[in-house]
């Protein structure tokens, strides 16, 4: 989906237009979710007609998927170097993402609906989501294994299982939170991180 | 939905017919999931016409919800006294349910789709799911608190959080499993149960 060389001319203009639409869609969806959002509102925001908008994304479904992909990219890009350095474990990164998500209920709704629908192999987003889970499990597992090596994460629990637990928790808590907005997703993920910590010998740890 | 007194006459016959339809629906959905199942197939199995079937459930949506409710009931009823005694913790009960679910991919698909859609407050199953999560959190929390009191479950982690984690894990792993059937949901829940165990002093425990 991305290109290594800098595109020029009309092609580049098309990419800029696409990003403009995505930014507008992200904002509209983050407030209203899938059901409450109209493509017309997004088209209006970027000064396009509805057919003009569909020229760039083909269908509502394709736009929804592109919004979720863009959310992932923004979530990674928005981390400053300082934040990256502060996030010492995959679990802490998930807390940070979850806290961010709690400000965007519309996008959470969209993600929940799309990931559920994409479990069908024939769904247009099936490939995206299977790749997404496979890649995330791998990245998180590696982070946890480093934590196991340096003594921060329990070594008696399977790292791939803990990675899949973190992802499942992040997905499953979204449903509980949408059902009951008083559920503090971030605090609950922090409890999971506590469970994954290596055998506490807190008295001897400095700064606790 | 249930009645205390034993119903008689035509009313009772209606209930029996309803249960017959539900059993057929449960079987059809457990094999094909929502998308692959037709109401006609279910109607055929119980010797009803399609309008005859809809007389009992009004719509496909109502039948889907009734199937999920019935799955919950069957899951509880199917536990023998012996099993109830063997399941010493809420975490073990979840392992058991998850293992059972892995034999019914169609019902898992149905549950994932319905719970996602029901996050919308206007959805007809919203009330059922909000009640379901609230009740399950309460039951699991109590079980975990007993475990904390008798020293089996870690006392340094919030019991309500652990209850919500268990539910989130059970929901979230279903999505990962539907995307990749090689994911061993039961083994992963067992890893979570290990994380929740009270400080291991395994050498002194008999039988380990």
Burial of residue A168 (number of CB atoms within 10 Å: 0-12, 13-18, 19+):
buried
Residues 13-42 in B contacting A (C-alpha not used; CB under 8 Å): 33, 35
CA distance B7 to B179: 44
CA distance B188 to B183: 9
Least confident of A78-92, A174-188, B19-33: A78-92
How high is the ipTM of this complex?
0.84
| Chain B contact present for A188, CB below 8 A | yes
pLDDT at B33 over 50: yes
Q: Which residues in chain B touch residue A158, judged by CB atoms under 8 angstroms apart?
A: 191
| Chain B contact present for A119, CB below 8 A | yes
Helix (H) or strand (E) holding A168: helix A159-179
Domain B1-78 top-level CATH class: mainly alpha
Closest chain A residue to B115, measured at CA: A175
What's the Cα-to-Cα distance from A138 to each of A89, A134, A157, A192, rounded to whole Å? 14, 6, 16, 19
**Cβ pair A168:B176 closer than 8 A:** yes
Fold category of B81-208 in CATH: Tetracycline Repressor; domain 2 (1.10.357)
Burial of residue A106 (number of CB atoms within 10 Å: 0-12, 13-18, 19+):
buried
| Chain B contact present for A140, CB below 8 A | no
CATH homologous superfamily for A8-59?
Homeodomain-like (1.10.10.60)
| DSSP result, B96-120 | HHHHHHTT-HHHHHHHHHHHHHTTS
CA distance A111 to A208: 37
A79-200 carries CATH number 1.10.357: yes
Highest mean pLDDT among A36-45, A50-59, A94-103, B154-163: B154-163
pLDDT at A77 over 90: no
Residue B145: partners with Cβ closer than 8 Å, 6 or more residues away:
B159
| DSSP result, B129-196 | HHHHHHHHHHHHHHHHHHHHHTTSB-TTS-HHHHHHHHHHHHHHHHHHHHH-TT--HHHHHHHHHHHH
For B74-100, how does the pLDDT look when each residue is reduced to its tens digit (9 = 90+)?
877 766 666 665 567 899 999 999 998
Minimal Cβ distance to A178: which of B109, B119, B179? B119
CA distance A190 to A9: 48
Do B112 and B174 touch, CB atoms closer than 8 A? Answer: yes
pLDDT band at B170 (very low <50, low <70, confident <90, very high): very high
**Cβ pair B157:A191 closer than 8 A:** yes
CB atoms within 10 A of CB B146: 15
**Tokens encoding B201:** 């002093």
Q: Which residues of B87-102 are buried (b: 16+ CB within 10 A; e: fewer)?
A: bebbbbbbbbbbeebb
Average pLDDT across chain B, whole number: 86
Confidence (pLDDT) at B86: 58
Domain extents for chain B?
1-78, 81-208
For A123-179, how does the pLDDT look when each residue is reduced to its tens digit (9 = 90+)?
999 999 999 999 999 999 999 999 999 999 999 999 999 999 999 999 999 999 999
């Amino acid at each position: 989906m991305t290109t290594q060389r800098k595109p020029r001319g009309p092609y580049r203009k098309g990419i800029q237009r696409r990003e403009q639409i995505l930014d507008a869609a992200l904002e509209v969806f983050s407030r209203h979710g899938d059901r409450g959002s109209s493509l017309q509102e997004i088209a209006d925001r970027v000064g396009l007609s509805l057919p003009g908008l569909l020229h760039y994304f083909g269908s509502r479904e394709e736009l929804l998927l592109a919004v979720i992909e863009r959310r992932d990219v923004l979530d990674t890009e928005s981390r400053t170097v300082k934040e990256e350095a502060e996030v010492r474990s995959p679990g802490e990164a998930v807390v940070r993402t979850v806290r961010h998500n709690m400000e965007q209920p519309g996008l959470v709704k969209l993600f929940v609906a799309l990931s559920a629908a994409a479990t069908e192999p024939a769904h247009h987003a099936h490939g995206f989501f299977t790749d997404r889970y496979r890649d995330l499990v791998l990245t998180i597992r590696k982070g946890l294994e480093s934590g196991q090596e340096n003594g921060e994460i329990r070594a008696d629990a399977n790292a791939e299982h803990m990675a899949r637990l973190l992802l499942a928790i992040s997905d499953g808590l979204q449903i509980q939170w949408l059902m009951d907005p008083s559920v503090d997703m971030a605090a609950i993920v922090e409890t999971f991180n506590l469970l994954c910590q290596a055998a506490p010998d807190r008295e001897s740890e400095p700064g606790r």
